[in-house]
Amino acid sequence: MTSQALIVVLSPTIVEVGADLGASVSAVGQARSISAAVAVIASVIVLRRVDAVGVPRLGAVGALVAIGASSLLSLSPGLAMFLSGHVLVGIGIALLLSAGFAGVAAFPPERRAWAMGYVAGANALAWVAVNPVVGIVTDLVSWRLAHAAPAALAVACLLSLRRAGSGGNVTIPPRLSALFAHRSARRWIVTELIAYGAWTGLLTFIGAFFVEELEVGESTVGWLLALGAAAYFVASTRIGALTDRWPRRRMIAGAAILMAGLAVFQFQVMGVVPATLIFVAIGSSAGVRTPASSGLGLEQLPGHPGAMMAARTAATQLGYLVGAVMGGVVIAVWGYAALGIALALGLTLSASLILLVRDPLEERARS
């Protein structure tokens, strides 16, 4: 939740930040690009160290960085310091996300799907719980005080990590080249990058679609998007029961195909109610695909769950950049309907590739 709060806090405050610092909304929006790019680089650096350092220590450092970043942003006198502060935001995201997902490896294999569902669901829960609070604080007091929300979650993260175990011993950390030399791990990373690029491309522009095409007020859009996030959380926390009934790779592929079909209609429906229902359905499907795929990635390199989850962080943050840039180009040239088709193609490709990834859980079940 802390890692996502660092991302979420920008959306409700971006207009006020621009007005206070004398900058345009587009200039302030570059903060997200900076944090995403830094998160990708930091994740690659962390990849060789996360398993050796341990989840509690990595998470604690990430929480301290998050507190420092929130403090720096709230005190920014100008745009330059505000953008510079998002370097720390990117580092905090990389450390917290990698530690959070890698910590699932401490659970016994039969409980990992359940744990992964709650870890993935916590990302969506930040959009439901943090977004409205940040918006209210920004309206009533200041955008600067709104940064206390991710800082408070970071403090809670520190307190919870005091009771976390080390997770056991690991072997020598792999190099990045060795990770990509592993065929199944490489396929999973590419699949996650494509799927997350499409998913975040939808998240980036769905709000603008509601405002520009369906003429919905911005405050109302915030609550509509929260419904999708809530659906994601509900689905992800039920993933444990689904993995007991269905082969994991087919479940991931099926959820991606469903998301692809719904994405085509998402940007062609001209009614607020049906568009909202479709978005909620996409959120539910993503709530199945994301934790199931993360659990599959966790087991690609035995003994190196942290390295795989650091690679996941890099892939997801790179997906933010690719999805936002490509989605913006598609909308500018061909419009929202074409965006839905482009996202559907990406999700369909990811569904095809995930079937080529090796699943140790299925292999153990067969044996």
Q: Tally the C-alpha atoms within 13 A of residue 360's C-alpha that lie toward its C-beta.
A: 12
- For the cut 90, the answer to whether the pLDDT of residue 285 exceeds it is yes
Q: How confident is the model at residue 313 (pLDDT cuts 50, 70, 90)?
A: confident
- Residue 3 near residue 93 (C-beta atoms within 8 A): yes
Instruction: Return the percentage of the chain with pLDDT > 70, whole number.
Output: 95
How high is the pLDDT of residue 173? Answer: 57
- For the cut 90, the answer to whether the pLDDT of residue 109 exceeds it is no
The alpha carbon of 292 is separated from its chain's Cα centroid by a whole number of angstroms, namely 14
Nearest CA to 299 among 172, 185, 175?
185
Distance (Å, rounded) from C-alpha 104 to C-alpha 119? 8
Q: Which of 62-76, 154-168, 222-236, 282-296 has the lowest mean pLDDT?
A: 154-168
Q: Read off the pLDDT of residues 144-169 as tens digits, 9 standing for 90 and up.
A: 999 999 999 999 999 988 877 655 44
Cα distances from 118 to residues 114, 123, 219, 294, 348, in angstroms, run: 7, 9, 28, 12, 26
Per-residue pLDDT, averaged over 57-85, amounts to 94
Which residues are CB-contacts of 181 (< 8 A; sequence separation ≥ 6)? none
Per-residue exposure over 220-253, b if at least 16 CB sit within 10 Å of its own CB, e if not:
ebbebbbebbbbbbebbbbbbebbeeeebbebbb
How high is the pLDDT of residue 182? Answer: 83
Q: Read off the pLDDT of residues 213-257 as tens digits, 9 standing for 90 and up.
A: 888 876 677 788 889 999 999 999 888 777 767 888 999 999 999
DSSP state at residue 78 = S
Give 29 or 151, the one with higher predicted confidence.
Answer: 151
Task: Tell if the pTM clears 0.75, that is, is over it.
Answer: yes
2-163+172-366 CATH choice from 3.40.50.2300, 1.10.1740.10, 3.40.10.10, 1.20.1250.20: 1.20.1250.20
Per-residue pLDDT, averaged over 251-278, amounts to 94
The values of phi and psi at residue 76, to 5°, are -65, 125
Kindly state the tokens that stand for 77. 């006198």
Nearest CA to 320 among 40, 27, 6, 24?
40
- Residue 351 near residue 252 (C-beta atoms within 8 A): yes
Q: How confident is the model at residue 264 (pLDDT cuts 50, 70, 90)?
A: very high
Q: Which of 38-42, 183-187, 236-240, 363-367 has the lowest mean pLDDT?
A: 363-367
How high is the pLDDT of residue 168? Answer: 47
Give 99 or 363, the one with higher predicted confidence.
Answer: 99
How high is the pLDDT of residue 177? Answer: 66
Distance (Å, rounded) from C-alpha 116 to C-alpha 295? 6
Give 110 or 198, the one with higher predicted confidence.
Answer: 198
Q: Read off the pLDDT of residues 195-208 as tens digits, 9 standing for 90 and up.
A: 988 998 888 788 87
- For the cut 90, the answer to whether the pLDDT of residue 82 exceeds it is yes
Burial class (CB in 10 A: 0-12, 13-18, 19+), 16: middle
Per-residue pLDDT, averaged over 274-286, amounts to 95
How high is the pLDDT of residue 302? Answer: 73
Burial class (CB in 10 A: 0-12, 13-18, 19+), 339: buried
- For the cut 90, the answer to whether the pLDDT of residue 354 exceeds it is yes
How high is the pLDDT of residue 270? Answer: 84
How high is the pLDDT of residue 29? Answer: 76
How high is the pLDDT of residue 31? Answer: 85
- For the cut 90, the answer to whether the pLDDT of residue 105 exceeds it is no
Burial class (CB in 10 A: 0-12, 13-18, 19+), 61: middle
210, amino acid identity? F
Instruction: Return the percentage of the chain with pLDDT > 90, whole number.
Output: 41
Sign (positive or negative) of CA dihedral 127, 15, 25, 74:
negative
Q: How confident is the model at residue 315 (pLDDT cuts 50, 70, 90)?
A: confident
Q: Read off the pLDDT of residues 121-136 as tens digits, 9 standing for 90 and up.
A: 998 888 888 888 888 8
